[in-house]
Amino acid sequence: MAGVPEMLALVKTAHAAQSRNNGRVPYWMHVQAVAQILDDAIVRGAEIQYPLRERMYLAALGHDLYEDTNVSRASIETTFGADVAGLIEGMTNDGDTDRAAYLARMENAPEEVRLIKLADVVENITSVTYAVPDMGIDWVETFFAPIAREMSKLLGASSFSKYPRTAQSLQFLLAFAAKRLEQTIVMYTGRPERTGGSLPSEITKE
């Protein structure tokens, strides 16, 4: 089966026409960052070993292929195996019009899928927080933030029995990123910060 170099080459080609931050950032840099955030947490957690670690890295790199490109599950299964193809399928969102259905599916997804999604949300929130000048505060506040809050609430409270240390590392990053997003919205709008979320004690002690 093909490995990381082949998947990275595929996502660079498949996402070549897509970008982020108002065209300044090639889209493939997002999926590469998600894979690295995930893998760093896996290393710290020391709960996931090869070959699952590699399969999850591959799925993180390819997590938007079905959703945003013409790459099919069949082609991924042929090249990278059924496990990678299935993990990407678990991540795939058919659109933001039925957010409740996607949230419900993610709530019951396998832990491996939820770990990848945690890394994805961390990267999305972090990128948007620093890209407000590119994206505009209206889009951030009215479109992105509600979606980010819903997913952060779900994944932040999600239970992981197989990989608790890996999940805790990612949930810590998620809480930090979500807090910074809310502070950035306050900075740009001057409105009071939303309440209801909390940071891990390690952060609040800083």
Give residue-wise pLDDT tens across range 64-120. Answer: 999 999 999 999 999 999 999 999 999 999 876 788 999 999 999 999 999 999 999
Exposure string of 49-87, with b = 16+ CB inside 10 Å and e = fewer, is eeeeebbbbbbbbbbbbbebbebebeebbebbbebbbbb
Q: What is the pLDDT of residue 97?
A: 72
Q: What is the pLDDT of residue 191?
A: 81
- pTM, rounded to two decimals: 0.93
Q: What is the pLDDT of residue 195?
A: 56
Q: What is the pLDDT of residue 204?
A: 33
Q: What is the pLDDT of residue 199?
A: 42
The pair of three-digit structure tokens given for residue 184, joined into one six-digit string: 């950035």
CB 160 within 8 A of CB 114: yes
CB 90 within 8 A of CB 55: no
The pair of three-digit structure tokens given for residue 192, joined into one six-digit string: 């009071």
**pLDDT beneath 70: ranges in the chain:** 96, 195-206
For residues 42 and 164, what is the distance between their CA atoms, to the nearest angstrom? Answer: 11
